[in-house]
């Protein structure tokens, strides 16, 4: 067989793909679209590692280099403070810089360091600040916009970021001192369980895409077979017809590749518009890994030829027509079970091998095992459908038509559904993993959002200033109530004893009775009262003795550290240590969780009990209850806090805290599952419509002798439903099995055996959707036009 003959036959087949009028073009377009979507998804998937890597690179490039300890100011040194705030649902990050010399470095992405009180902003933040929606945020970031941060200073095009030059940073309120940007920040390695999830998700999401591509290259198979029969009539031999068929599929697959590349090119342009897995990428970062891209691009045409030749095995193309092998070979069970067993053999030894505390995992074993198990299940479906429908008896006409159709040719239906088996099996297994892991990655914070929703803290120069801050927050729009305290410390006076390295100390909180009652269970309280409250070692807090060693009823304490660290700023010489005697009437009470969920301990004093003006380095602390009726109440509070002190801290209180990485993976899998299911539905719909079109004449003749529309509609429903239901049964069994094995890998228990129900629901919705979407075409085909021959 010469190369020229191959080329000629393939070229002839390729010509058939584009000629042959509207139906031919439509078929090629369908194949190209199907393959194209698959290829685009695969290319995006193989771009993900690079996207994540580039994100790390970008973060490292703009980070202040902290590898060198700089103790004193230099010409190129600067103090810096990172600021992260939430505006509505978006995160805004900022870097505040105070140069110490005249040659500070220019932050990455900016043309120059902004002047004092000015800032450079990312394009997305600039747009937000210029819009009416950004008005509240503008109050919080009061610097004048004088520059733009370019891509070199951003991790994604939609990132909300600013770099501002300020003059208020000191070594008391800074994050650190730097002289240059660009530092390799070590990323926290992903937990082994998350890696397991990601691996299984990738396999589960990508296998249906491959199945879809294999289905897409077979679109229009029956029409093609008839065309090949015509070629046999004019002298083509069997080998030639197969090469021509391969050429036709190849052309469709190559068009599909072009469509896929086009879709990928378009999709990467929109990479910045979407945030998936917390990744909002620049188009230039969405680059497939070369080796994987080559595999994708090469495997699609090869797969198209292989699938076509494989499909022609059971077909004898004769000059007078196509003859399907009348008694198709019985499907063998053994090799399908062998695949499953091989998958299990790879996965089972890994049971108990994955530890929560580890970050390493045998990814090759998991990928190979999961892939083999899923492929084994997929190949099991045609056997199951065949074995099952063989045993079905006829019932009503619609059921009989569907069952007989499946008995005659169950392969087409099983192939179309195989994508569902993979997607559903994987989804069930992942769902089980999620439920088991949710406990590990989701913790109840213990925060009581019924008492407060935001915590604000700021340094004050003195008690009056601290009280003023709390009052300002209380007066802020949208604030329904404030638990406000002035926080400082008390120390035991006198010399250090024994091995003591510092004077025993505990916290001091000054506030009204209502506020103090949020920290401890107070039997009664009036202005002038003092309490020593003990946490009894809860949450790892110190023993009660340590607290009472520093402060107890009747004891005198000092309000400034009597033995400060040598590096700490010293008060003017001769300044006496302020003293305070805890009244002997002070009561010892039990601590209770404050709205942040923490058991605090120390001394609680009402305003009349102590001269607050004497306390050292007071902080203002406000736990804020918001008025739900006021829109943007939280942002008003954040604005007030920023207005009080740009270095103040604001913390949102939440009942439940989810691990960020866990949430990201979950979101990613949800997005991927949705896309996969849509792809499966599209594949199923195309295959159903194609079957209907091939039966146009038959449908018309059935209508001619009075067959009801509803009879044929029900028949289509049964024809779709039987393989899907069987596929779901297989998926439920396989998914539960795979889920159990994956859980056992980490020594986890199954939380909910009914985890498959949502997936079954989606499967049933697919049946309904495919049937409903097929109806218009079915009804159109049932017109008498199909009987016309001229």
Partner 1 sequence: MNTAPQDPRVPLLRAIGLDKAYGSTPALAGADFSLRAGEVVAVMGPSGSGKSTLLHCLAGIVRPDAGTITYDGRELTALSDTARSALRRTDFGFVFQFGQLVPELTCVENVALPLRLNGEKRKSAEARAVEWLARLEVDDTAAKRPGEISGGQGQRVAVARALVTSPRVIFADEPTGALDSLNGERVMRLLTDASRDTGAAVVLVTHEARVAAYSDREIVVRDGSVRDAEWAV
Applying CB under 8 A, does 360 fall inside the site for partner 1?
A: no
711 in contact with partner 1 (CB under 8 A) = yes
Q: Interface with partner 1 includes 702 (CB under 8 A)? A: yes
Asked if 275 is part of the footprint of partner 1 (rule: CB under 8 A), the reply reads no
140 φ/ψ angles, rounded to the nearest 5 degrees: -80, -30
Q: Which stretch binds partner 1 (CB under 8 A): 168-176, 406-414, 536-544, 723-731?
A: 406-414
In the DSSP assignment, the letter for residue 646 is T
User: Are 161 and 121 contacting, i.e. CB atoms less than 8 angstroms apart?
Assistant: yes
The window from 399-407, 572-580, 605-613, 725-733 that contacts partner 1 (CB under 8 A) reads 399-407
Radius of gyration from C-alpha coordinates of the chain: 35
Asked if residue 135 binds partner 1 (CB under 8 A), the reply is: no
- How many CA within 13 A on the CB side of residue 581? 4
Q: Which two tokens stand for residue 116?
A: 């004092």
The Cα–Cα gap between 725 and 385 comes to: 10
Report if residue 698 touches partner 1, rule: CB under 8 A.
Answer: yes
Structural tokens at position 510: 């000054």
Residue 640 CA to residue 636 CA, distance in Å, equals 6
Which of 598, 659, 785, 767 is closest to 197 using CA atoms?
A: 659
**703 scored as a contact of partner 1 (CB under 8 A):** yes
Give the distance from CA 281 to its chain's centroid.
Answer: 14
Q: Which residue, among 37, 114, 109, 163, has the nearest Cα to 282 in the 3D structure? A: 109
CB of 313 to partner 1, least distance (A): 18
User: Which residues within the stretch 199-218 sit at the binding site for partner 1 (CB under 8 A)?
Assistant: none
Position 701 contacts partner 1 (CB under 8 A): yes
Q: Which of 71, 102, 188, 790 binds partner 1 (CB under 8 A)?
A: 790
Q: At closest approach, how far in Å is the CB of 395 from partner 1? A: 8
E strand or H helix that includes residue 620: strand 619-626
CB of 315 to partner 1, least distance (A): 13
Q: Show the tokens assigned to 272.
A: 């910045």
Indicate which single residue of 442, 663, 707, 751 sits in contact with partner 1 (rule: CB under 8 A).
707
Asked if 94 and 161 count as a contact pair (C-beta separation under 8 A), the reply is yes
Q: How far is the CB of 704 from partner 1 (least distance, A)?
A: 5
Alpha-carbon torsion angle 249, 255, 258, 260, nearest 10: -70
* Residue 254 touching partner 1 (CB under 8 A): no
Note whether 223 binds partner 1 by CB under 8 A.
no
421 lies in the site for partner 1, by CB under 8 A: no
Q: With both helix axes pointing from N to C terminus, report the angle between 238-269 and 221-233 in degrees, rounded to the nearest 10.
A: 150
Stretch that binds partner 1, among 367-375, 533-541, 628-636, 703-711 (CB under 8 A): 703-711
Mark the segment that binds partner 1 (CB under 8 A) among 255-263, 283-291, 337-345, 701-709: 701-709
Name which of residues 295 to 334 contact partner 1 (CB under 8 A): 323-324, 326
Binding of residue 226 to partner 1 (CB under 8 A): no
Tell me the pairing of strands 160-165 and 90-99. Answer: parallel
Q: How far is the CB of 756 from partner 1 (least distance, A)?
A: 32
- Under the criterion CB under 8 A, does residue 784 sit at the interface with partner 1? yes
- The answer to the question of residue 131 lying near partner 1 (CB under 8 A) is no
The rounded distance, in Å, linking the Cα atoms of 155 and 689 is 45
Select from 133, 652, 708, 758 the one that contacts partner 1 (CB under 8 A): 708
d(CA 757, CA 737): 15
Which of 488/715 has CB closer to partner 1?
A: 715
Q: Whole-number minimum distance, CB 789 to partner 1, in Å?
A: 7
Please report whether residue 400 would count as binding partner 1 according to CB under 8 A.
yes
Instruction: Return the beta strands (E) in 404-519 as ranges.
Output: 442-444, 454-459, 479-491, 505-510
Question: From the CB of 226, what's the least distance to partner 1, in Å?
Answer: 13
Residue 706 CB, nearest approach to partner 1 (Å): 3
Q: Which residues contact 506 (CB under 8 A, 6 or more apart)?
A: 489, 490, 546, 547, 550, 551, 601, 602, 603
Identify which of residues 323 and 660 has a Cβ nearer to partner 1 in the complex: 323
**Secondary structure, 3-state, 515-534:** HHCCCECCCCCCCCCEEEEE
Nearest to 85 by CA among 2, 147, 162: 162
Least CB distance to partner 1 at residue 408 (A): 4
Distances in Å between the Cα of 511 and the Cα atoms of 467, 531, 560, 593, 711 are: 9, 12, 19, 17, 79
Residue from the set 88, 390, 404, 651 that interacts with partner 1 by CB under 8 A: 404
Span interacting with partner 1, options 44-52, 398-406, 450-458, 732-740, rule CB under 8 A: 398-406
Q: Position of tokens 């994100």?
A: 55
Q: State yes or no: residue 787 binds partner 1 (CB under 8 A).
A: yes
Residues 526 and 509: their CA atoms lie apart, in Å, by 15
Binder to partner 1 among 408, 656, 670, 768 (CB under 8 A)?
Answer: 408
- Told to check if 405 binds partner 1 by CB under 8 A, we report yes
d(CA 100, CA 178): 10
Size of the site for partner 1 (CB under 8 A): 28
Q: How far apart are CA 419 and CA 210, in angstroms?
A: 9
CA–centroid distance for 119 within its chain: 32
Cα 756 from chain centre: 21
Kindly indicate which of the ranges 91-99, 299-307, 430-438, 707-715 contains the residues binding partner 1, using the contact rule CB under 8 A.
Answer: 707-715
Shortest distance (Å) from residue 413 CB to partner 1: 12
**Comparison of 185 and 704: residue with beta carbon closer to partner 1:** 704
Kindly state whether residue 704 participates in binding partner 1, applying the rule CB under 8 A.
yes
Alpha-carbon span 224 to 216, nearest angstrom: 14
309, 397, 588, 740: which one binds partner 1 (CB under 8 A) = 397
Question: From residue 202, how far is each of 45, 197, 331, 432, 737 by CA, in Å?
Answer: 8, 9, 30, 16, 19
Give the one residue of 409, 442, 462, 546 binding partner 1; rule: CB under 8 A: 409
Smallest distance from the beta carbon of 389 to partner 1, in angstroms? 11
Query: Which region, judged by CB under 8 A, interacts with partner 1, from 112-120, 260-268, 405-413, 555-563?
Result: 405-413
User: Given the rule CB under 8 A, which residues bind partner 1?
Assistant: 323-324, 326, 394, 397, 400-401, 404-405, 407-409, 697-698, 701-708, 711, 784, 787-790
């Amino acid at each position: 067989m010469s190369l020229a003959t191959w080329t000629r036959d393939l070229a002839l087949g390729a010509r058939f793909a584009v000629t042959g009028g509207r139906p031919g073009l439509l078929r090629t377009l369908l194949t190209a679209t199907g393959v194209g979507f698959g290829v685009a998804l695969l290319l995006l998937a193989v771009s993900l590692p690079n996207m994540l890597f580039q994100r790390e690179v970008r973060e490292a490039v703009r980070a202040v280099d902290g590898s060198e300890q700089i103790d004193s100011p230099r010409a190129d040194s600067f103090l810096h403070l990172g600021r992260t705030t939430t505006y509505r649902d978006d995160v805004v990050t900022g870097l505040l810089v105070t140069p110490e010399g005249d040659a500070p470095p220019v932050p990455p992405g900016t043309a120059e360091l902004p002047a004092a009180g000015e800032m450079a902003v990312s394009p997305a933040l600039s747009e937000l600040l210029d819009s009416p929606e950004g008005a509240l945020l503008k109050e919080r970031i009061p610097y004048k916009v004088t520059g733009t941060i370019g891509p070199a200073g951003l991790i994604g095009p939609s990132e909300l970021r600013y770099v501002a030059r300020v003059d208020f940073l000191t070594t008391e309120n800074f994050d650190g001192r730097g002289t240059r940007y660009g530092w390799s920040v070590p990323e926290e390695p992903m937990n082994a369980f998350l890696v397991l999830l990601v691996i299984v998700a990738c396999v589960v999401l990508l296998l249906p895409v491959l199945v879809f591509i294999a289905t897409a290259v077979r679109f229009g198979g029956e029409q093609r077979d008839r065309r090949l029969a015509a070629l046999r009539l004019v002298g083509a031999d069997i080998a030639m017809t197969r090469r021509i068929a391969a050429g036709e599929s190849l052309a469709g697959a190559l068009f599909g590749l072009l469509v896929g590349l086009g879709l990928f090119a378009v999709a990467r342009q929109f990479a910045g518009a979407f945030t998936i897995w917390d990744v909002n990428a620049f188009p230039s970062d969405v680059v497939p890994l070369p080796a994987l891209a080559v595999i994708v691009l090469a495997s699609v045409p090869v797969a198209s030829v292989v699938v076509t030749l494989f499909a022609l095995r059971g077909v004898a193309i004769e000059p007078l027509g196509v003859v399907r092998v009348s008694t198709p070979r019985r499907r063998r069970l053994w090799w399908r079970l062998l695949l499953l067993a091989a998958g299990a053999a790879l996965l089972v030894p890994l049971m108990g091998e994955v530890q929560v505390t580890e970050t390493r995992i045998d990814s090759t074993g998991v990928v190979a095992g999961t892939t083999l198990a899923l492929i084994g299940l997929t190949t099991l479906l045609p056997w199951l459908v065949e074995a099952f429908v063989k045993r079905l008896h006829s019932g009503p006409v619609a059921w009989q038509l569907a069952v007989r159709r499946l008995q005659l040719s169950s392969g087409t239906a099983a192939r179309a559904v195989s994508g569902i088996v993979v997607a559903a099996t994987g989804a069930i297994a992942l769902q089980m993993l999620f439920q088991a892991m949710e406990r590990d990655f989701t913790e109840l914070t213990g925060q009581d959002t019924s008492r407060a929703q935001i915590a604000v803290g700021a340094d004050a120069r003195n008690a009056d200033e601290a009280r003023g801050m709390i009052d300002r927050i209380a007066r802020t729009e949208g604030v329904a109530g404030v638990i406000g305290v002035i926080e400082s410390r008390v120390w035991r006076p006198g010399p250090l004893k024994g091995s003591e390295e510092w004077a025993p100390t505990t916290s001091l909180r000054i506030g009204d009775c209502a506020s103090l009652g949020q920290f401890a269970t107070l039997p009664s309280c009036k202005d002038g009262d003092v309490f020593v409250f003990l946490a009894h070692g809860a949450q790892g807090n110190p023993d009660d003795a340590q607290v009472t060693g520093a402060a107890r009823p009747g004891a005198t304490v000092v309000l400034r550290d009597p033995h400060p660290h040598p590096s700490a700023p010293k008060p003017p010489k001769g300044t006496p240590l302020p003293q305070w005697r805890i009244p002997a009437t002070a009561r010892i009470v039990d601590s209770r969780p404050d709205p942040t969920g923490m058991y605090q301990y120390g001394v609680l004093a009402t305003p009349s009990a102590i001269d607050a003006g004497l306390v050292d380095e007071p902080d203002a602390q406000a736990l804020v209850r918001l008025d739900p009726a006021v829109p943007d109440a939280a942002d008003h509070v954040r604005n007030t806090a920023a207005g009080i002190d740009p270095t103040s801290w604001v913390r949102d209180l939440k009942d439940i805290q989810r691990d960020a990485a866990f949430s990201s993976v979950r979101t990613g899998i949800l997005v991927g599952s949705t896309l996969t299911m849509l792809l499966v539905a599209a594949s199923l719909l195309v295959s159903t419509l194609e079957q209907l079109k091939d039966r146009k004449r038959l449908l018309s003749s059935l209508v001619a002798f009075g067959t009801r529309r509803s009879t044929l509609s029900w028949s289509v429903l049964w024809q779709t439903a039987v393989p899907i239901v069987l596929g779901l049964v297989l998926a439920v069994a396989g998914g539960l099995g795979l889920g159990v094995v994956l859980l056992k890998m980490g020594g986890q228990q199954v939380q909910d055996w009914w985890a498959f129900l949502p997936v079954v629901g989606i499967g049933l919705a697919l049946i309904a959707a495919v049937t409903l979407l097929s109806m218009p075409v079915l009804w159109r085909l049932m017109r008498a036009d199909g009987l016309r021959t001229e």
